[in-house]
Structure 1
Amino acid sequence: MLTLVLAVSSVVGAADLSSAGIAVDVESSMSELGAVVVEIVWTQGANEAFLALKAPEGVEAIIEGGRLIAAGERISLGTFGPDQEMRVEVFGLEEGGEALLVAERSAGPESYQSVIDIKIKHDNAVLAGSREYLIRPAREADFIAREESRDQPHAARAAEPGRDAIVIEALIPKILATIFVEDPSNHAIPDGPGNCADAGGVWPVESREYLYIGSAPAGATSTAITVHVEITHPVMADLQVAFGRADSLYTTFWLNYLLRYDPGVNLDRDFTRDKYSNNFMALGDAVNGYYQLAVRDCVAADTGTLTYFSVLVEYDGALDVDLVADSVSVDPGTAAAGDDIRVTWAGHVGGTDSIAGGFNTRIYLSNDTNITTADTPLATVNEAAASDPGDTFGDGAPGRTVTLPPGVSDGTKYIGIIVDSNDAVDESNESNNSAWDAITIDSTSSLDLVADSITPQTGSVAAGASVNVNWFGHADAGNSGDISGNFTVGFYLSNDATVTTGDTLLDRVTISGPTTPGESFGASGRSLSIPGGTAAGTRYLGLIVDDTGSVAETNENNNTATSAITVTGGGGGQADLVTTACSVSPTSVEVGDLITVNWTERNQGDVEAPAFLTRIYLSTNPVWEGPSTDTRLIQFDHGPYAAGFQQSLNTSVTIPAGTSDGTWYILVVTDARDVVPESNEDNNMCASTITVGSGGGTGSTDRWLIPAAASAPGYSGSDWRTQIAITNPGNQTREATVYYVSDSASWPGTLLSGPISIGARRSHYIDDVLRNLRPTAGLLYVVLDDPGPVVTSRTYNLASDGSTFGQGIPGVPLISGDAPDELILPMVHSGGGRYHTNLGLVHASSGSMTVEISIYTAGGSLLAVQQRTVTDGWDQINDVFDKMGVGAASIEGGWIKVRMISGSPDAWTCYASVVDKETGDPTYVAGVEAE
Structure 2
Amino acid sequence: MNDPYWLANGGNGDYTIGMIIDSADDVFESDEINNSNQGELIDRDTLVINGTTLADLVGTSANVVLEPQLAGNVFDFDYSISNIGGSSTGGNYTVSFYLSDNDLISPLDQFLGSTTLSNLAAGASTGLLRSQLTLPGVNDAYWLANGGNGDYTIGMIIDSANVVLESDETNNSNQGELIDRDTLAISGTTAADLVGTSANVVQEPLTAGATFDFDYILSNIGGAPTGQPIKVSFYLSSNTTISSSDYFLGDATIANFPANASTTTLSQQLSLPPAGDPFWSGDGTYTIGMIVDSDDVVAEVSESNNSNLGNLIDQDSVLITGTQKADLVSTVSDVIFEPQNAGNTFSFEFEINNLGGLASGAFDVSFYLSTNDIISSADQFLGTATLGSVTANGSTGLLTVDLTLPGINDPFWQGDGTYFVGMLIDPNNAVDESNETNNSNTGFLLDYDDVIINNTSQLGQRGSDDFLGTDAADFFQGLRGDDDILGFGGDDELRGGRGDDFVIGGTGSDIVNGNRGDDLLIGVDLDNALNVNGDQIDILIGGFGDDAFILGDTTQSYYNSTSSTDYAVIADYTAGEDVIMLHGSAGNYSLGTPSVGLPGTGIFQGNELIAVVQGDTSGLSLTGAAFEYI
Confirm or deny a common fold (TM above 0.5): no
TM-score, length-scaled by structure 2: 0.32
Q: Which has the higher strand share?
A: 1
Larger C-alpha radius of gyration, 1 or 2?
2
